[in-house]
Structure 1
Amino acid sequence: MAKRTGRRPGSPDTREAILASARQAFAERGFDGATVRQIAAGAEVDPALVHHYFGSKEQLFLATMKVPIDPRTIIDGIAGNGVEHAGETLIRMFVKVWDSPAGSVGAALIRSGMSNELGARMLREFLVTQILRRVIKQLGLDPAEAPARAALVASQLAGLAMMRYIIKLEPIASAPVEDLVAMIGPTIQRYISDPLPTLGG
């Protein structure tokens, strides 16, 4: 009779065990610090099962966040109209996604981030690794200024999400997409391309 290794075989519970281990690992170590081997050990499975169920670490992270849309499908098109139009393009894409059924997931992520520290850490990791890092790469921002610019853009987008979809403050809540593009796009563009003051100076 073969000796049991102690690892969990593939079963309906295996996927949930991997997700639970992944949430803890990503929250404690961040996306970059967590490894598939660590996540597999926490779930008591072979690392090959993690890849079997989720493919890559990135796909596993998106699954823990219950994100229905791969951010790459949206972000990869931001620079398509040129960096000088990135502000309006970003707002247009952002509102389009949030006005779709996927917007309810985004609202849940923000509420979770506001209500508990685990949710806040996971939301922060999602914003930094899956959204802001990609935007920085797409727009070719100066690496020295990129974190500050990305954080400023994120603050504007988060504010828009709160006011339009969670608090539902009028007239923002019912404003047509192109009105929001005209009003908020220039601010986003300024964060992306205008000279920045020396932070902390």
Structure 2
Amino acid sequence: MTDSLANDATSNRPRTGRRPGNPDTRLRILTIARELFAQKGFDKTSVRSIATAAGVDPALVHHYFGTKRQLFIASIDIPVDPTQVIAPVLDRPTDEIGAHLARAIFSVWESPHRSAAVAAFRSALAGNEPNLIRTFLLEFVLRDLEPRIDEPPGTGKLRSQLVASQLAGVLVTRYILEFEPLASISLADLIEIVGPTLQRYLTGPLPD
């Protein structure tokens, strides 16, 4: 078979695998998803509503991004999946979670992902999109911990919000505003300082 015939035969073979998507369509979905998540929050934003606003079929949204949770992560450009970051913490005894949670979260910001994580947080703050940060912390980082810290019953949500307030405060002041000396202390010292506070919020007594 000559080279030209071989090339013709190859070109006529059916292509396999997922076809590359239209980058403009994908970007439009991401942009609209971010806007709706910021306006309505995660729970009140459906894949169908995002697809409708983007002028596409919901199946195309799933094709590009998978689940709604994966779409949210993509829309705020977080460099890692927070559910995977938090997974090892869930295996720890409840009375040891504080330090391990601090290590899991802050280690991402001390890793090569730091620039992307800071950019994502700064973008949400600059864009006046508090729902994005709230969803990230409460729905992705702390959601699976809440049933374990709901003691006495009915306090789990408050405990999660207190933990989120501590994490958000440290992330902003250390990595975005770069307060000194907080910005320069070691990761080990940061965990030693913040871990007990997180633990108190997770399992300590609350006002009646």
Aligned-partner SS, 2:141: helix
Residue 158 of structure 1, CA deviation? 1.6
Aligned-partner SS, 1:173: helix
Structure 2: stretches of 5+ with no match in the other structure: 1-20
Q: Does 1:157 align with 2:167?
A: yes
Task: Give me the identity figure in percent.
Answer: 44
TM-score by length of 1: 0.84
Q: Give the paired residue count.
A: 187
Q: Does 1:178 align with 2:188?
A: yes
Deviation per CA, 1:75-131: give whole Å up to 9, x if none: 1111323111111111111221110122223322332343333x2222222222212
Q: Which amino acid aligns with 1:189?
A: Q
Match of residue 15, structure 1, among 23, 26, 36: 26
Match of residue 167, structure 1, among 177, 185, 189: 177
Whole-angstrom distance in 2 between the partners of 1:150 and 1:158:
12
Q: Does 1:141 align with 2:150?
A: yes
User: Comparing 75-84 with 52-61, which one deviates more in the overlay?
Assistant: 75-84
Q: Does 1:131 align with 2:135?
A: no
Quick check: 1:40–1:50 contact (8 Å CA) kept in 2?
A: yes
Quick check: 2:79–2:117 contact (8 Å CA) kept in 1?
A: no
Whole-angstrom distance in 2 between the partners of 1:171 and 1:158:
18
Q: Does 1:61 align with 2:66?
A: no
Q: Which amino acid aligns with 2:26?
A: R
Residue 58 of structure 1, CA deviation? 0.8
Larger Rg: 2
Quick check: 1:112–1:120 contact (8 Å CA) kept in 2?
A: no
Deviation per CA, 1:122-161: give whole Å up to 9, x if none: 2222222212213324x35345111211111111112221
Q: Does 1:104 align with 2:95?
A: no
Structure 1 stretches of at least 4 aligned residues deviating more than 6 Å after TM superposition? none
